[in-house]
Amino acid sequence: MKYDFDRVIHRTGTDSVKWDHHQMKGEVDEMIPMSIADMDFEAPDFVVEAIIGRARHGIFGYTVVPEGYYSSLSKWLLMRSGWEVRKEWIRPTPGVIPALAFAVEAFTEPGDGIIIQPPVYHPFRAVIADNGRAVVNNPLKCEGNAYSMDIEGLKRAVDSRTKMIIISTPHNPVGRVWRQEELEELAEVCLENGIIIISDEIHADLVMPGCTHTPTAMLSDEVSRITVTCTSPSKTFNLAELHVANAIIPDKGLYERFDLALTRAGLKRPNVLGMAALEAAYANGDGWVSELITYLNGNYLYMRDFFLEKLPEVRVSAMEGTYLGWLDFRGLGLPEAAVDERLLLKARVDMTPGRIFGPGGEGFYRMNLACPRAVLERALTRIRGAFRE
């Protein structure tokens, strides 16, 4: 490999939410954090150099969004997914979650129903409820730790107040990369009922070998006209705190409503360093991402095989996309509180409890696998020790 993902980089003392969180709270020493979904890998050198090069100019005055920003994003999406995206569809935003919140404001009214598919990334629920809309659950079906959409349940969930659905594709936390036919079934229900699709595709670049990501808006021209696609380089290149993301909206009317919501909040452009980072990442990142995916898939396979051999009561769902393992601890026969205690106090490994992702998450834990193999090995050994006393 050209890039060294095995190198351990110490992040404590950098005000990292992930690594300094427990120290800030005065909690357990030597915690291995595997919860917050950022990576313990350096951003690629060409991104760092682009940021440094722009910073060396020394002036950070008002800056227009450069043509290279739009063209690098469009070329990236065409190369990775075959999706031809026009400049006039792209609306920069300060992040995917802010984009979701502005979509809720732009396209729905207080009291309207918005569908989510739990267990799902918990900020979905928050941006709905915090804006006075009604959360409508359409839980995923789970059979033998394999997940699928419940399309019949989706049809039953729709009523006259249902205006929107927010989907996670690839899905966080269960790791599914939805097949084209699955998305088509969902889109058909939305078209029939006048429901806008907000498609969170922040993990779209992180698809494991043998799987293919289909952008929701690519299903058909008709579907593209009801779809807002949210993307960002933040997961792919580890750039979360640069606050650069995009909403891609082919329908002019929806674009104008979304743009107005951001303009009313005074949000016109990304920050200058975020723009430089995005342009460099998408212009130069294909080889880096290919090596990253190989490494992440290796981490997943190592983790899966470890549990199969050393702690088979813990069942591992297939990770088709993202870098997040989805682990079912229910086979241990312990209450969740006891599992929490053993993980945090005995293993000293911090994973995200599945219950925060809503119905269907109870008894599961989400493990961030975007770390050097040595860190993963140490965490897994600790977990085994905590449950094999």
pLDDT (0 to 100) of residue 97 = 98
pLDDT at 73 over 60: yes
Query: Is there a single domain that holds both residue 265 and residue 121?
Result: yes
- CA distances to 1, 180, 325 from 356, rounded to whole Å, are 37, 28, 15
pLDDT for res 209: 98
Q: 142-146, 199-203, 340-344: which range is least confident on average?
A: 142-146
Percent of the chain at pLDDT exceeding 70: 98
Domain boundary among 283, 300, 332: 283
Task: Tell me if 10 is assigned to some domain.
Answer: no
Are 177 and 209 part of one and the same domain?
Answer: yes
Q: What angle do CA 294, 321, 208 make, to 5 degrees?
A: 30
120 and 257 inside one domain: yes
pLDDT digits (tens, 9 = 90+) for 237-270: 999 999 999 999 999 999 999 999 999 999 988 8
Residue 80 predicted with pLDDT over 90:
yes
Asked if residue 351 belongs to a domain, the reply is: yes
Considering the domain architecture, whether residues 103 and 32 belong to the same structural domain is answered as no
Of 283, 305, 330, which marks where a domain is finished? Answer: 283
Q: What is the mean pLDDT of residues 328-336?
A: 98
Pick from 263, 283, 303: which residue ends a domain? 283
The residue that leads in pLDDT, 17 or 138, is 138
Do 352 and 297 lie in one domain? The reply is yes
Q: Is the same domain home to 279 and 307?
A: no
- Least confident range from 40-54, 72-86, 262-276, 347-361: namely 262-276
Q: Are 271 and 192 part of one and the same domain?
A: yes
pLDDT at 23 over 60: no
Residue 177 lies in a domain: yes
Q: Do 277 and 199 share a structural domain?
A: yes
Alpha carbon distance 17, 10 (integer Å): 13
Q: Which CATH number covers residue 94?
A: 3.40.640.10
At residue 22, the pLDDT reads 59
Q: How confident is the model at residue 358 (pLDDT cuts 50, 70, 90)?
A: very high
In a domain, 123, yes or no: yes
Q: Is the pLDDT of residue 190 over 70?
A: yes
CATH number at residue 31: 3.90.1150.10
Residues in the chain, overall count: 389
Task: Please report the pLDDT score of residue 24 as a whole number.
Answer: 47
Same domain, 236 and 186: yes
Question: What's phi and psi for 103, nearest 5 deg?
Answer: -65, -40
Residue 187 lies in a domain: yes
In a domain, 316, yes or no: yes
Give residue 278's domain range.
59-283
User: Token pair of 199, please?
Assistant: 């498609």
Residues with Cβ within 8 Å of 332's Cβ and at least 6 positions away in sequence, in order, are 313, 314, 339, 387
Give pLDDT, residue 77. 99
Q: Locate tokens 């006259």: which residue?
A: 160
If asked whether residues 239 and 373 sit together in one domain, one would say no
Residues 6+ apart with CB under 8 A from 336: 353, 355, 362, 363
Mark whether 181 and 293 lie in a shared domain: no
Mean pLDDT of 179-183: 98
Give the pLDDT of residue 16.
82
Strands (DSSP E) found in the chain: 32-33, 90-93, 113-116, 134-137, 141-143, 146-148, 162-168, 196-200, 227-231, 245-248, 315-316, 324-328, 349-350, 352-353, 364-368
Q: Mark whether 296 and 273 lie in a shared domain.
A: no
Residue that wins the pLDDT comparison between 19 and 140: 140
Structure tokens at 283: 């212009």
222-to-141, 212, 226, 368, 370 alpha-carbon distances in Å: 27, 22, 7, 36, 37
Number of domains composing the chain: 2
- In this prediction, residue 28 carries a pLDDT of 54
Residue 374 inside a domain? The answer is yes
Q: What is the pLDDT of residue 21?
A: 73
Distance CA 313, CA 211 (A): 27
Side chain identity, residue 356: I
Query: Would the pLDDT of 207 be above 80?
Result: yes
Q: Is residue 234 one of the residues assigned to a domain?
A: yes
Instruction: Give the integer Cα–Cα distance in Å for 355 and 89.
Output: 36
Beta partners for residue 162, in sequence order: 113
Task: Report in angstroms the alpha-carbon separations of 252 from 81, 246, 249, 284.
Answer: 22, 16, 7, 31
Instruction: Residue 86: count other Cβ atoms within 10 Å of its Cβ.
Output: 10
What is the average pLDDT value for the chain, to the nearest integer? 96
